[in-house]
Amino acid sequence: MNKVILITGASRGIGREIAITLAKEKNIIIANYNKSENKAKELKEKYNIDIYKTDISQETQCRELVKYTLNKYKKIDVLINNAGIDKNQLITEVTKKDWDNIINTNLYSAFIMCQETARNMIQNKKGCIINISSIWGQVGASMEVVYSISKAGMDGLTKSLAKELGPSGIRVNSIAPGFINTDINNIYSEEEITQIKEEIPLQKLGNTIDIAKCVKWLIEDEYTTGQVISVNGGWVIT
Active site positions, annotated: 147
Which lies closer to ligand NAP via its Cβ, residue 76 or residue 136?
Answer: 136
Using rule CB under 6 A, residue 179 touches ligand NAP: yes
Task: Give the C-alpha separation, 33 to 8, whole Å.
Answer: 7
CB of 224 to ligand NAP, least distance (A): 19
Q: Single out the residue of 28, 110, 114, 180 in contact with ligand NAP (rule: CB under 6 A).
A: 180
With binding defined as CB under 6 A, does residue 59 bind ligand NAP?
A: no
Give the dihedral sign, CA 183/184/187/192. negative
Q: Which stretch binds ligand NAP (CB under 6 A): 9-17, 66-74, 113-121, 196-204?
A: 9-17
Site string for ligand NAP, 12-51 (x = CB under 6 A): xxxx----------------xxxxx---------------
Residue list 68-87, contact with ligand NAP (CB under 6 A): 82-85
Interface with ligand NAP, residue 184, by CB under 6 A: yes
| Residues between 101 and 140 with contacts to ligand NAP, criterion CB under 6 A | 105, 132, 134
- Provide, rounded to whole angstroms, the least separation between the CB of residue 74 and ligand NAP: 24
Instruction: List interacting residues with ligand NAP (CB under 6 A).
Output: 9, 11-15, 32-36, 54-57, 82-85, 105, 132, 134, 177, 179-180, 182-185
